[in-house]
Amino acid sequence: MSTYTLELFLHVSGAIGVFAGVGIWLFGLSALRMARRVEQVRAIAWLMIVSIPFMVLSLVLIGAAGLAMAISTWGLQTPWIIVSLVSLVLFAPINMFVLDPRMRALFAKAGEEPDGPLSIELVKHIHDPTLGTLTQTLAAVLLGIVFLMTNKPSLTTSIVAMVIALVLGLLSGVPYWYAARRRAKSRDMLDKSALYSSGRTSEDPFLKKTIWTRRW
């Protein structure tokens, strides 16, 4: 067994770990959107939070083993390696600095609420479009890196492939933003309707059914 085969094993193992973590997040977000009780939200959010350190460790393993293979065998000047490493460095922090804080805020909000149906505020946290968009974008970028690793294209092709992966990942999140905007608009309309109805019955004396208004 050579050093290269060991580095390749660690590199592939890290990739498996990352995709397993991303899969947990994708299925977890889907389950959260279908949740109807606070207890369900707590359980799903806890599982997703626990997977974050595992994903970060796997990303570190991918980067370290990939860098070692690049130095020993391929060379750091190889175009597809450069693009892969830059993409990994740019998108790896999404886990720790964006996804993890938002999911912890969701978990904390669910912990503050009693068992039972979801509140409007908790539903708003669950349907945060940033979570779905960034998770799917991260998955698309990782698939783009796998494409570079297996096809080893030129610099131009590598950059185009990663740009396509990034654009597809961002576009996949458009339905989340549309749904969030539609949900907010519907909530505002309901609030205004309730306010108008409340104000009309309490402030307009001519609409009250009294002995005097019945005569007219």
The 3-state secondary structure of 87-154, one letter per residue: HHHHHCHHHHHHHHHHHHHHHHHHHHCCCCECCHHHHHHHCCHHHHHHHHHHHHHHHHHHHHHHHCCC
- Which structure tokens are listed for 135? 């998770």
Residue 195, pLDDT score: 37
pLDDT value, residue 166: 95
How many domains in the chain?
1
pTM comes to 0.80
- 98: nearest Cα among 135, 46, 63: 135
Q: Could you tell me how many residues make up the chain?
A: 216
28 found inside a domain = yes
Q: Would you state the pLDDT for residue 198?
A: 43
* Backbone torsions φ then ψ of 113, nearest 5 degrees: -90, 150
Pick from 124, 143, 119: nearest CA to 22:
143
CA torsion angle for 24, 51, 120, 36 (degrees, to 10)? 50
pLDDT of 27: 94
Q: Return d(Cα 54, Cα 189) in angstroms, integer.
A: 43
Evaluate whether residue 119 is within a structural domain: yes
pLDDT beneath 50: ranges in the chain: 191-207, 212-213, 215-216
Instruction: Tell me whether residue 60 is in a domain.
Output: yes
- Sign of the four-CA dihedral 147, 164, 173, 52: positive
What span, in angstroms and rounded, lies between the C-alpha atoms of 108 and 116? Answer: 16
Please indicate, yes or no, if residue 214 is contained in any of the structural domains: no
The answer to whether the beta carbons of residues 170 and 139 sit under 8 Å apart is no
3-class secondary-structure state, position 19: helix
Owning domain of residue 92: 3-202
* Nearest Cα to Cα of residue 130 among 75, 177, 167, 178: 177
117: phi then psi, degrees, rounded to nearest 5: -60, 155
Q: Whole-angstrom Cα distance, residue 127 to residue 187? A: 14
On whether residue 122 sits in a domain, the answer given is yes
**In a domain? residue 87:** yes
In this structure, is residue 62 part of a structural domain?
Answer: yes
- Taking each helix axis from N to C end, the angle separating 38-69 and 3-34, rounded to the nearest 10 degrees, works out to 160
Tell which residue, 74, 92, 88, 91, has the closest CA to residue 152.
74
Specify if 101 maps to a domain. Answer: yes
